[in-house]
Chains A and B, each alone.
Chain A
Amino acid sequence: MQPRVDEAGQGGDRKTAPGGGSGKRRWGGRRSTAAPYLFLLPFFAVYSTFLLYPTFSALWLSFQEAVALDTPSFIGLENYVRLVQDERYLHALRNTTVYALASVFILSPLALAVALAIRSFLVPSVNLKSFYRISLFLPFITSFVVIALMFSLVFNKDFGLLNSFFRSVGLPELNWLRSERLAMLSIVLVGIWTYLGVNSLYFLAGLQNIPHELNEAAAIDGANRRKTFLYVTLPLLRPTILFVVIQATIFSYQLFEIPFLLTNGGPSDATLFLSQYLYEVGFSQFDRGYAAAIGYSMALISIFLTVVQLLLYRRFTR
């Protein structure tokens, strides 16, 4: 058979080119084996430099005493032991967990309710649904700085939107951001405003994947809306619920900008989150080793909670 000659004038018979054992290996063949790796190289270079290296470097740093510019020295697990004795760390952990619980048990059900409302009879027009989808996504893509500035005005005690409303209906004014009792609630409310829309979209996508036939079959079998939701919709939404809950948990343990900008962790640490405490230890106290240990503790907590959620999911889907 006459080998096909390509435009570059090189043999193009794939059966005889690489691995032919003829000793006539051509540069084109060699290049073809290296090419995929070369295409991948930029990614691996960036990934190794900016993700893998810092990840392992931070792990190593967490086993060291590295304060300010002093030469770091290996101290084993001392930084991790210090975590459980550090009252501020434990306080920040409690605050972060409270926020994570609010994300899971308040934000996620609300998002599901909004998704159901958009999909159901409440928003019948297709155009209106598109409008809702866009407007729900907007808070998620708004800069945290803008959100914080906006809510600092909303929560302002003297001329804020919320207190103006309270005044107009005869309710007492509240010191939203400067009361130890209310500051965390304020942060949770901002979190709900920011993430409600995008979580609703996740649920909407999940709901769209449920075949109509199943709902129709349930209706034919005599199931009302509540039963259809409980026994058809909800079980089929489990993967979406799992995704929403896992990402809500992870985001909660990474929360930094909103409390930092709105309350700066105050008043008196009432809204101190783990990420801000890490920042304080790392950049204010300049205790890099301990800050790395805090970072790893946050990662371990997120991984642990994700595994627990996955196991629970498997158990309930059996």
Chain B
Amino acid sequence: MSYTSEKVIKALKVLDIKNYSYCGDAPKDEATFLKGFSIHTGTETLEDGLVVAKTSNNPDDFGFTWAEIKTEMDKL
């Protein structure tokens, strides 16, 4: 099975996971996905007023596991 960012996004929507970002290689497997994925844990405001996300790349903060997202992607 080939996994892509488009499938990841659709699976995250099914799992009702919001406020995340990803930056890295296409998430073809768990290791690649975990390297690029961040969940937003809060915000901070820059001096000019821009509200910027605080992020975590700790899987314990994600609220889901790779197995769960993989299950959803395999249904697509």
- B and A form one assembly: no
